[in-house]
């Protein structure tokens, strides 16, 4: 434990330059006496850590000294590179950070983590679709989040002021979770215009957690997206297509003797379900509800009226 604490103390000093034993004690949650002994141990080990007496004194890491200790285990380093490696394809900052981290790792780790970085490539475009570029606003908002700077923008015809708390990339669509005068709100970046990062600062709530907040947003959205449920029969070999269309709102049952599977699918409205299923013709049979069957009948009538003369 003490070795880990000494490394933590050294890394803390690298970020601060000069610290007092009391500051180090608060950071590491240890006593002031223990913090003082740790600082003395670093100095005795030959690391250029020296006490500076006086009113504004403390312990200082002099000469720009740095440590090569990353604190990562082999598995942790590999996991980091598996995650960050694909992102480096489009970010010079991430590439530079990974190169520096490789140099900081022990020699025995380097070949395996480099292999991890090269193991995955992310192509964000679906088949037949154009690649989606990262919105220009992302970099501005990232800087505002880090700097705790309030932003202003136009959204759906209204001028807004918000405290940016976090960004989410969901399948190429970016969202901003922010604090506003009306409470926490979520904004789609592709509907946001005239972004301005102001000099006003804010404090993010101590209890805010981005993962938790986004989970609540997703839960509320998915609930709205599945207000209508239908039971359909479809040949077993096509169930995967319904899964692709309806995602988490597709629940297949057991296969019947005729080779068809009873599947429950959900969407926001009966028309949404009917539009998705209408292209299947008689291959898919909707058992219930009657509202979806009626929408399909209306679609069929419209198509017959439009194309019957041909």
The model's pLDDT over 280-308, given as tens digits with 9 standing for 90+, comes to: 999 999 999 999 999 999 999 999 998 88
β strands within 44-127, DSSP E: 49-52, 58-61
Task: Tell me which of 16-25, 41-50, 239-248 is least confident.
Answer: 41-50
The structure's pTM equals 0.57
The domain segmentation of the chain, as residue ranges, is 2-61, 74-117, 136-207, 226-307
Task: Say which CATH topology domain 2-61 has.
Answer: Arc Repressor Mutant, subunit A (1.10.10)
Task: Name the average pLDDT for the chain.
Answer: 81
Which pair of structure tokens corresponds to residue 3? 């070795």
pLDDT at residue 164 is higher than 90: yes
Which pair of structure tokens corresponds to residue 178? 């922010």
Residue 196's pLDDT is 94
pLDDT at residue 4 is higher than 70: no
pLDDT at residue 67 is higher than 70: no
DSSP 191: G
Residue 89 has phi, psi (to 5 degrees) of -60, -30
Q: Which CATH class is domain 226-307?
A: alpha beta
Q: Which CATH class is domain 136-207?
A: mainly beta
Query: CA-to-CA distance for 80 and 180, rounded, in angstroms?
Result: 34
Give SS3 for 164. Answer: strand
Residues in Cβ contact with 19 at an 8 Å cutoff, skipping those fewer than 6 apart:
12, 13, 27, 58, 59
Query: CA-to-CA distance for 221 and 241, rounded, in angstroms?
Result: 22
> Rg of the chain's alpha carbons, rounded to an integer?
29
When comparing pLDDT for 301 and 309, which is higher? 301
pLDDT at residue 34 is higher than 80: yes
Mean pLDDT of 116-127: 65
Give SS3 for 194. Answer: strand
Run of H or E including 186 = strand 183-188
Q: Are 161 and 180 in contact (CB under 8 A)?
A: yes
Number of neighbours of residue 142 by Cβ within 10 angstroms: 13
Q: Are 177 and 211 in contact (CB under 8 A)?
A: no
Tell me the HSE value of 193 on the side-chain side, using a 13 A CA sphere: 7
């Amino acid at each position: 434990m003490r070795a880990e604490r000494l490394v933590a103390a050294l890394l803390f000093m690298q970020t601060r330059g000069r610290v007092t034993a009391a500051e180090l004690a608060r950071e590491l949650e240890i006593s002031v006496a223990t913090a003082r002994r740790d600082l003395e141990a670093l100095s005795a080990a030959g690391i250029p850590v020296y006490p500076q007496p006086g009113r504004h004194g403390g312990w200082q890491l002099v000469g720009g000294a740095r440590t090569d200790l990353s604190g990562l285990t082999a598995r942790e380093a590999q996991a980091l590179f598996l995650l960050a490696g694909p992102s480096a394809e489009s970010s010079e900052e991430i590439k530079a950070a990974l190169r520096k981290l490789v140099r900081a790792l022990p020699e025995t780790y380097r070949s395996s983590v480099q292999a991890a970085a090269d193991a995955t490539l992310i192509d964000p475009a679906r088949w037949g679709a154009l690649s989606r570029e990262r919105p220009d606003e992302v970099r501005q908002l990232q800087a505002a989040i880090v700097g705790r700077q309030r932003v202003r923008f136009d959204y759906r015809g209204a001028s807004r002021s918000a405290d940016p708390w976090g960004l989410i990339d969901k399948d190429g669509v970016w969202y901003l979770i922010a604090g506003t005068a009306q409470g926490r709100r979520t904004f789609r970046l592709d509907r946001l215009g005239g972004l301005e990062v102001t000099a006003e600062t804010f404090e993010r709530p101590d209890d805010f957690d981005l993962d938790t907040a986004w989970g609540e947003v997703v839960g509320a959205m998915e609930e709205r997206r599945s207000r209508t449920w239908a039971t359909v029969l479809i040949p077993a070999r096509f169930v995967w297509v319904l899964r692709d269309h309806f995602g988490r709102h597709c629940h297949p049952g057991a296969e019947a003797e005729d080779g068809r599977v009873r599947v429950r699918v959900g969407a926001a409205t009966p028309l949404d379900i009917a539009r998705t299923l209408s292209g299947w013709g008689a291959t898919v049979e909707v058992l219930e509800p009657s509202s979806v069957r009626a929408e399909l009948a209306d679609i069929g009538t419209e198509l017959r009226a439009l194309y019957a003369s041909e």
